[in-house]
Structure 1
């Protein structure tokens, strides 16, 4: 007997799907096929059995599993596209090795960025139109007239579709982000926020005591990602003065230093569009310590440190000048693409606002709105300019 089950969002949470497949096997239904287009699972009924399932994603995966997985007892159930499903007759706590999750994590991040772009686009468009309507409603002379038309149904359908797509994209982003966090937690990792002294992590009470005694100082650096070279220089100067970086806050703006010894430490602030586990492992193997890694998906910043001796060449992640320049250009382009649409939208709204300001009476709400727009334009504009100044500073050294 063949049983068919539809699970449209199964790939958003593979761990939950694996548990569901195991429960189906305990009830006597064993997976034989997955239709990725219709999101349908097909099961063959047989004698109940306890199985542990693992789902993987690998573009290079062949028809057979690796020797290590076969020796562990894993068998391949099926393969559809780049997805594959394996099973083993062992409880999860007895399993020593299993298919890696890196392929799923990387695939999920790409999907999440696509949905993030959709959410960002609709958010910008919504802010643009809401600000226009807001200006119209607060204007004393503005009049809004609704005309009856049989074609309003198409307008309602359009906005309904837009809202549905926005909600779906937002849900997908949140769900995939949570899944990736859970997948990453499956294997032990070094603490990303305590790269310099992971063994000396202090409690909040101990930090307060050290701060009162003057042994721990706190510095704040806002917007350092728009000029990362200046942050690197500042941190290295602090180390030379005997202020050893202890940890960085989760937001990446608060830096805590312990008064220690003077030392030569190279710092590198790195921006990656997609930073998977192999990236962090590669840097650690090269001798770098992870000081900070951003939690966001759009801006994936990481801060690395590496101590070296007096007289040695300062180590760098990007040793070639051309690679450094490409990295700086990537940062400038990324932030330009992020901020320029917002600047253009605010400039258009500002033009409409000034026109209303000239032809109508002055009121506090309108003035406040215009001031906020000007501040936003100046802020986003300064961020964009700072990233390009960083690029041109490096270009002079090449």
Structure 2
């Protein structure tokens, strides 16, 4: 018997699974996982090739399905919501596995929690820097250091806070990377025909079509704050004979291919988690994914579906209230993202403005910074306002 502690094993379950497999090859087979102690206990036996899978389920299933048992899977241990299963069959013969959706959703919860704390700590740090800078300028660069027997506490707390800050940065990076790998793990080999048609063009061929005027380019910045307007704009382009060809990676440049006028319904869908089943369900219903954002905070997908003249335009979701719920989620998400920044810039700009009004005089770097802060307040405030206007437009409709 041996025990190994791995504090951050759940950040990358694929790496942990491979580690368990490597341990089995050395003759150490997993016996128990202790969730709170982050401890793995192994039992010494004959070396074997064992495939391990780690699952996460709120229901804590006591048994595996018949399909998985018939495929050779056996439950090794479970602790809390985590469980580990093993399979001694050759990996190429195994046809089933555990779902990754619950792990991705859990990781996303931790990811957004750490992001919120990071934003708060960054905001607090910038406020303190702004206060010190303003006081430093007001005192003409004269700084007095007050002797105190408690400086050691300040240093310890500061060191711990800094270490925690960098730990959260590492966690955010690690979780984002792990979630990307988990999302790609079970991707289907299904490739829509429209993707083959549009993306087989080489860069040279596309440039030639642009020169010939067959492919035209249009820019649309900030459409995710008013997605309903983007949908109407794309549908109008289709009726004019401009069919969406592709969207660049940033989602700001739209390429259209000229042709016959068509009736196409577009839907910009926002999801906290876009997994393979999400795409497959809509594809099977006849929808084509024209664009999917890659960012961690913006999970947007633009879908399209053709319909005949006189037909009722198709809807991505049959539930009529889904679009309104989605709009509310969009408004809350972007408000939580931008509001702390707006408040921070208002605070700093007001302090700078108060000092400048007292001092007067020529234009300085502080004047420029203050103007920039007000511009940022305007930009981020506009983003928040647009999302809530989008929500209320759908609510009235």
**TM-score bin, normalised by smaller chain:** over 0.9
Query: Whole-Å Cα distance in 1 between the matches of residues 126 and 317 of structure 2?
Result: 39
Alpha-carbon deviations, 1:229-285, whole Å to 9, x = none? 111111001111111111112211111111122111111112223344433333333
Over 3 Å counting, the alpha-carbon distance change for 1:280 and 1:136 in structure 2 is farther
Q: Provide the residue aligned with 1:279 in structure 2.
A: 278
234-243 or 208-217, larger mean C-alpha shift: 208-217
Query: Whole-Å Cα distance in 1 between the matches of residues 231 and 193 of structure 2?
Result: 15
Q: Cα distance, 1:391 vs. partner?
A: 2.3
Over 3 Å counting, the alpha-carbon distance change for 1:190 and 1:353 in structure 2 is farther
1:197 aligns with 2:195: yes
Alignment of 1:182-193 (within 5 A): 182-189=181-188
Alignment of 1:285-300 (within 5 A): 285-300=284-299
Query: Whole-Å Cα distance in 2 between the matches of residues 11 and 4 of structure 1?
Result: 17
1:257 aligns with 2:256: yes
Count the aligned residue pairs. Answer: 395
Query: Whole-Å Cα distance in 1 between the matches of residues 257 and 91 of structure 2?
Result: 43
Calculate the TM-score normalised by the size of structure 1: 0.92
Query: Whole-Å Cα distance in 1 between the matches of residues 270 and 25 of structure 2?
Result: 46
99-108 or 252-261, larger mean C-alpha shift: 99-108
- Partner of 1:381, secondary structure, is helix
Q: Provide the residue aligned with 1:9 in structure 2.
A: 8
- Partner of 2:46, secondary structure, is coil
Query: Whole-Å Cα distance in 1 between the matches of residues 298 and 126 of structure 2?
Result: 22
Q: Cα distance, 1:224 vs. partner?
A: 0.6
Work out whether residues 195 and 290 of structure 1, in 8 Å CA contact, stay in contact via their aligned partners in 2: no
Q: Cα distance, 1:363 vs. partner?
A: 4.3
Q: Cα distance, 1:188 vs. partner?
A: 2.5
Alpha-carbon deviations, 1:319-366, whole Å to 9, x = none? 555443333233223222222222121111111101221233434311
Q: Cα distance, 1:138 vs. partner?
A: 4.7
Calculate the TM-score normalised by the size of structure 2: 0.92
Query: Whole-Å Cα distance in 1 between the matches of residues 144 and 69 of structure 2?
Result: 71
Q: Cα distance, 1:378 vs. partner?
A: 0.8
1:172 aligns with 2:165: no
Q: Cα distance, 1:191 vs. partner?
A: 8.7
Q: Provide the residue aligned with 1:35 in structure 2.
A: 34
Q: Provide the residue aligned with 1:392 in structure 2.
A: 392
Query: Whole-Å Cα distance in 2 between the matches of residues 114 and 281 of structure 1?
Result: 29
Q: List gaps (5 residues or longer) in structure 1.
A: none
Query: Whole-Å Cα distance in 2 between the matches of residues 252 and 64 of structure 1?
Result: 45
Q: Provide the residue aligned with 1:120 in structure 2.
A: 119
Moved over 6 A (4+): none
Q: List gaps (5 residues or longer) in structure 2.
A: none
355-364 or 256-265, larger mean C-alpha shift: 355-364
Alignment of 1:362-381 (within 5 A): 362-381=362-381
15-24 or 100-109, larger mean C-alpha shift: 100-109
Over 3 Å counting, the alpha-carbon distance change for 1:19 and 1:323 in structure 2 is closer
Q: Provide the residue aligned with 1:229 in structure 2.
A: 228
Query: Whole-Å Cα distance in 1 between the matches of residues 236 and 118 of structure 2?
Result: 41
